[in-house]
Chains A and B, each alone.
Chain A
Amino acid sequence: GQSLEQPSEVTAVEGAIVQINCTYQTSGFYGLSWYQQHDGGAPTFLSYNALDGLEETGRFSSFLSRSDSYGYLLLQELQMKDSASYFCAVNNAGNMLTFGGGTRLMVKP
C-alpha cells in the first residue's frame, strides 16, 4: 500500500517562515511533488524533488530525503495570499500521483 502523512493544519503570521512536513510509504517512487490549492480553486503545481536535497523557487523551497522517506515544503516571508491547502504527492511509476491528505495553512496578520 501507499500512504503519505502531513499535518492537517498549520497557522503562522505574515512575514514568518513555515515548514510543512510529509512522510511517505510507497512501493514505487520517482519523486515528491507539492501542489497548492486555494479554497474553491484547482490544485496547482509548486515543486518537484527527484533527488535528495533542497530545491528553491522564490519564496518556496522543497526538500527531499529518500533514505528517510521524508520531505518538506518551506514557505518564507509568508503573505496572506499563501493561505491555502498544500498537498504532497508521490510520483509513482506510470505517471501517477498519490496525494497526502493536505495541510491547511492559515496566515494571520
Chain B
Amino acid sequence: DVKVTQSSRYLVKRTGEKVFLECVQDMDHENMFWYRQDPGLGLRLIYFSYDVKMKEKGDIPEGYSVSREKKERFSLILESASTNQTSMYLCASSQPAGGTDTQYFGPGTRLTVL
C-alpha cells in the first residue's frame, strides 16, 4: 500500500513565524503535491513537483514556497505565517500514468495561525 505521511496532524503557530510542513511518500512516486482544504472550496493546489528539485506553482502559491531535495520528501514552507493561512494542508503523491494518475493523500496537517 502507498503510504504518505505528514510530519504533524495539528500545528499552532503565531503570526510571522516561519512554518515547515513535511511530507514523505514511500512508493517512489515522481509527482508530489501540496493542497490546502477549506470548507466549501474543496482542495486547492498550492505547488506541485514532478521531479527532485523541480517545482511548479499551482492555483494559490502566494505566501508559500516548497522544497524537494529528495524524491520521497516534499516540504511546504510558510515564510511568514498569517492568520489567513489557517487551514488543513494535504500532501499527495502520484506516479505518471498518462492521465489516469491516482493521487494518494496523507492524513493532513491542521494548521492554526494565531
Per-position 1/0 for A88-106, Cβ under 8 A of B: 0101001111111110000
Q: Is the CB of B43 within 8 A of A42?
A: no
Indicate if the CB atoms of B101 and A87 lie closer than 8 Å.
no
With known contacts A45-B102, A48-B102, A50-B100, A95–B50 Cβ distance under 8 A: yes
Interface members, chain B 65-97 (any A CB < 8 Å): 90, 92, 94, 96
Residue tally, chain A, CB below 8 Å to B: 24
Q: What is the chain A residue whose CB lies nearest that of B59? A: A98
Q: Which residues of A contact B33 (CB under 8 A)?
A: 96
Residue of A nearest to B31 (CB): A95
Task: Check B42–A102 contact: CB distance below 8 A.
Answer: yes
Q: How far is the CB of A33 from chain B (nearest CB, A)?
A: 8
Size of the chain B interface, CB-CB below 8 angstroms: 29
Which of chain A's residues has its CB closest to B38's CB?
A101
- Closest chain-A Cβ to B87's Cβ sits at a distance in Å of 14
The answer to whether B105 has its CB under 8 Å from any CB of chain A is: yes
Are the CB atoms of A95 and B101 closer together than 8 Å?
A: yes
In Å, the complex CA distance between A99 and B41 comes to 9
Asked, given contacts A8-B40, A43-B43, A102-B42, whether A94 binds B102 with beta carbons under 8 Å apart, the answer is no
* Residue of A45, A91, A97 most packed against chain B (CB within 10 A): A97
Contact present for B101 and A44 (CB under 8 Å): no
Segment 41-64 of B: residues with Cβ below 8 Å from A: 41-45, 48, 50, 56, 58-59
- Nearest A residue to B108 by beta-carbon distance? A42
CB of A87 within 8 A of CB of B48, answer no
Whose C-beta in chain B lies nearest to the C-beta of A41?
A: B107
CB pair A91 B107 closer than 8 Å: no
Nearest-Cβ distance from residue A24 to partner chain B, whole angstroms: 12
Mind listing 6 A-B residue pairs with CB under 8 Å? A42-B108, A43-B103, A94-B56, A95-B50, A97-B45, A102-B40
Q: Which 10 A-B pairs have the closest CB atoms?
A: A30-B99, A42-B105, A99-B42, A99-B43, A101-B42, A45-B102, A95-B101, A43-B105, A95-B31, A102-B42
